[in-house]
């Protein structure tokens, strides 16, 4: 019988089928381990109360900026980052304001990046406490910022929504952070089962992070296109190519690995794959992104430290 997670509304058996696994293989040890891992992760897509409330307000088109700003102000970590980011070159084409306020910062940067900041701060506060995966999580944060800068740059070049692209880049691998947290909380029995069967957490997260991330994005009220872009950022199905954003996030991910990963790690040169060309990026635009993205991303990282 298909088990539907009542909290999350997620049908894990259907997910296993979608992955091309029959119900027989889904009942193998590995299938069960992955299913239980996903179900545990979904419980973790819950944000702290203030963050959830702020996100809910940001998702409601009738909310007024003053009220959202009031709530944001109650969380110093979110408030600080909103001001810092709105002053950064990424969001202040005409230079930073001498007298920044939360209201002006939200108007300046838009509601979409605000959602991404709320989510990032709320998750980081929890996730960065996990000493066990500190190195992986720091690298993941760096990769996410590079992907956000890359996605924004690509969107500007193609005349697409740069703010939406920024948040999709920032959150495309959020399923991995949720996965690290889930694993750090798992019982020794579950941990053993997962690592033995999936030969470690990395390969397991390679398999499931897109689905977990897309689910979380839906739960946080991100748009359908953002959910689909997170869900398919490694392999864009032909039916979604015309949407452009899933392909854009895929391209941003490749660029982020190429430009932001430590030297010596496996990288693909974005110029050697067809993704940017299928998106409609010209070779000179790709070269310009290769120069601009690291500068923009390092600037954002310095602001977020």
Residues at the interface with Fe ion (CB under 5 A):
173, 253
Q: Which is nearer to Fe ion, 84 or 168 (CB)?
A: 168
The H-or-E segment that residue 111 falls in is helix 111-127
Q: Alpha-carbon Rg of the chain, whole angstroms? A: 19
3-state secondary structure 139-192: HHHHHHHHHHHHHHHHHHHHCCCHHHHHHHHHHCCHHHHHHHHHHHHCCHHHHH
Classified as helix, coil or strand, 230 is: helix
Q: How far is the CB of 118 from Fe ion (least distance, A)?
A: 21
**Alpha-carbon distances, residue 239 vs 59, 88, 275 (angstroms):** 27, 36, 15
Q: How far is the CB of 66 from Fe ion (least distance, A)?
A: 36
Q: Which is nearer to Fe ion, 84 or 148 (CB)?
A: 148
Q: Which is nearer to Fe ion, 181 or 253 (CB)?
A: 253
Q: How far is the CB of 69 from Fe ion (least distance, A)?
A: 32
Q: How far is the CB of 270 from Fe ion (least distance, A)?
A: 13
Instruction: Name the DSSP letter for residue 73.
Output: H
**Alpha-carbon distances, residue 61 vs 43, 58, 101, 159 (angstroms):** 27, 7, 21, 24
Q: How far is the CB of 3 from Fe ion (least distance, A)?
A: 26
Classified as helix, coil or strand, 280 is: coil
Q: Which is nearer to Fe ion, 87 or 144 (CB)?
A: 144
Q: How far is the CB of 6 from Fe ion (least distance, A)?
A: 28
The H-or-E segment that residue 23 falls in is helix 23-26
Q: Torsion angle of alpha carbons 171, 143, 12, 201, nearest 10°?
A: -150
Q: Which is nearer to Fe ion, 54 or 293 (CB)?
A: 293
Q: Which is nearer to Fe ion, 59 or 139 (CB)?
A: 139
């Amino acid at each position: 019988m298909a088990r539907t997670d009542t909290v999350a509304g997620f049908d894990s058996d259907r997910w296993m089928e979608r992955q091309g696994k029959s119900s027989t293989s889904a009942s193998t040890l590995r299938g069960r381990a992955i299913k239980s891992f996903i179900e545990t992760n979904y419980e973790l897509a819950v944000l702290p109360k203030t963050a959830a409330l702020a996100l809910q307000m940001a998702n409601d088109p009738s909310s007024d900026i003053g009220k959202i700003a009031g709530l944001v102000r109650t969380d110093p970590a979110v408030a600080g980052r909103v001001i810092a980011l709105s002053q950064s070159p990424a969001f202040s084409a005409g230079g930073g304001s001498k007298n920044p306020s939360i209201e002006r910062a939200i108007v300046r940067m838009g509601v979409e990046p605000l959602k991404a900041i709320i989510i990032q701060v709320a998750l980081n506060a929890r996730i960065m406490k996990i000493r066990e995966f500190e190195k992986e999580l720091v690298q993941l944060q760096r990769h996410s910022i590079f992907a956000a800068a890359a996605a924004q740059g690509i969107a500007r070049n193609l005349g697409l929504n740069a703010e939406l692209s920024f948040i999709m880049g920032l959150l495309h691998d959020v399923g991995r952070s949720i996965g690290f947290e889930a694993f750090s909380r798992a019982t020794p029995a579950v941990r053993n089962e997962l690592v033995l069967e999936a030969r470690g957490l990395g390969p397991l997260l390679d398999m499931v992070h897109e689905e977990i991330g897309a689910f979380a994005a839906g739960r946080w009220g991100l748009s359908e296109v953002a959910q689909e872009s997170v869900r398919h950022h490694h392999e864009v199905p032909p039916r979604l190519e015309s949407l452009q954003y899933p392909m854009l996030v895929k391209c941003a991910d490749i660029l982020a690995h190429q430009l932001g990963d430590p030297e010596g790690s496996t990288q693909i040169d974005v110029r050697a794959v067809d993704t940017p060309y299928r998106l409609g990026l010209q070779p000179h635009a790709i070269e310009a992104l290769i120069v601009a993205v690291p500068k923009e991303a390092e600037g954002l990282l310095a602001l977020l430290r």
